[in-house]
Amino acid sequence: MTFRSTVLHLTLLLSIVTSGCSDGNANAFFYSSTLDQRTKDEQPAVLKTLEELVNIESGTNDAIGIPEMGNYLEGRLKALGAEVTRTPATSGVVGDIIVGQFKGSGGRHILMMAHMDTVYVRGSLAKAPFRIDGDQVLGAGIADAKGGIATILHTLALLKAQSFQQFGTITVMFNTDEEKGSLGSNELIQKLAAQSDIVLSYETGFIYEGQEFFVTGTSGVAVVEARVHGKASHAGAASPTAVNSMTEAADLILRTQDLQDPQQERLFNWTSIKGGSATNIIPDLTVVSADMRYGRNEDLPLLEAALAERAQKKRLEGARIDLQVTRLIPPYNATDAARGVMNKAVAIYAEVGAKLVAANVRTGGGSDAGWAALSGKPVLENLGLPGGNQHADAGEYVLASAIPRRLYLSARLVSELGQGL
């Protein structure tokens, strides 16, 4: 049903777009008024796409939902005319990364990306079904990042309807495991970003106190596992050689509190502890884990060195601490070139009477923009539908009223960037 209604809409758009071009060229982009109306007309189809996306439960590594979502996205991209390839995710991650490519008549190379996985486990849809409540469109994963997927698909539909060809390539990537750090897909993200002139990432549009923002940074994320070894003994008749691993772990937690430095955009929080097997046994092993976030790639080695130094200041003689730090996702920091694209986007948004602020804001979360930014190419984040309550069981939403203006922004931006304007 979605495809049929979209094709009808696109046919109508194609029939009027040539008369709306400023120079009569079928490849020149719409007058603003024409595109503004077409994006409003597209809103019901976008809502239908959102419903279809939400109804596929695609939690990371879901053996049913991730393949189903991959098949759905492959079908949608092929219907739009893309050449589609499927690349199995690595590192034991379930599913295929879906890449669609459109070849134009010449111009710049653009990568559009969003992730198909969510944080929700199978069965969550019963608590967080697709529904519309006033201006809020709710459902599991709808903001993070199924709203971004829908924006990409319908942006491409608008461009196809206009027979827009003034670009080198438009590559679309839907990856499998962003919510777990993209360990199974980051190599392909980096490769495709390096082959592109600019990267557009369709994570949730950021909202604060009713104002829409572009963030200029996301956080790098790493996890720490500290295995604290001691020597077990009976708790009531403890051997003089006993070493309580839990006591040493507790002291490690206390002596690393100064690693937390929000002013330097460094966050360090111990988040889990496991140890002991019985109340009458001094434990010989305690495992504590921490979440580490940082603003610049060069910060991670500094944090690792500081953590290692604190770990050696042991409270108990005979204790041993083994540290393992695993980087999940690098930080994203907008370059001057990316800020220039942000300014272009702000101006485009204003054409339909909407306000978008490019502010010096870093989110506490990580995103695939960090992997793409390693290419050195400009990356623009937060092009998905604005919303909130990400990862909340029943409250995650996007704004229905924002659909037309976000489509307008996306279509105009891709058109101008493709032409090198």
Rounded distance between C-alpha atoms, residue 53 and residue 141, angstroms? 9
The per-residue pLDDT for 32 is: 65
Question: Can you list the domains of the chain with their CATH numbers?
Answer: 2-218+331-419 (3.40.630.10), 220-328 (3.30.70.360)
The per-residue pLDDT for 385 is: 98
**CA 82 vs CA 74, 85, 407: distances in Å:** 9, 9, 19
Q: Which of 74, 117, 177, 396 is catalytic?
A: 117
Beta partners for residue 200, in sequence order: 112, 380
The per-residue pLDDT for 239 is: 78
The per-residue pLDDT for 1 is: 31
The per-residue pLDDT for 66 is: 98
Using the Cα atoms of residue 197, residue 201, residue 202 and residue 208 in order, give the sign of their dihedral.
negative
Rounded distance between C-alpha atoms, residue 411 and residue 153, angstroms? 11
CA angle, 404 then 407 then 410, to 5°: 150
Q: Is residue 117 among the annotated active site residues?
A: yes
Rounded distance between C-alpha atoms, residue 155 and residue 161, angstroms? 10
pLDDT by position in tens, the chain (length 421)? 322 222 222 222 222 222 233 333 444 444 468 888 999 999 999 999 999 999 999 999 999 999 999 999 999 999 999 999 999 999 999 999 999 999 999 999 999 999 999 999 999 999 999 999 999 999 999 999 999 999 999 999 999 998 999 999 999 999 999 999 999 999 999 999 999 999 999 999 989 888 999 999 999 999 999 999 999 999 987 778 899 999 999 999 999 999 999 888 999 999 999 999 999 999 999 999 999 999 999 999 999 999 999 999 999 999 999 999 999 999 999 999 999 999 999 999 999 999 999 888 888 889 999 999 999 999 999 999 999 988 877 799 999 999 999 999 999 999 999 999 8
Q: Which of 42, 144, 177, 178 is catalytic?
A: 178
Q: How many CB atoms lie within 10 A of CB 313?
A: 11
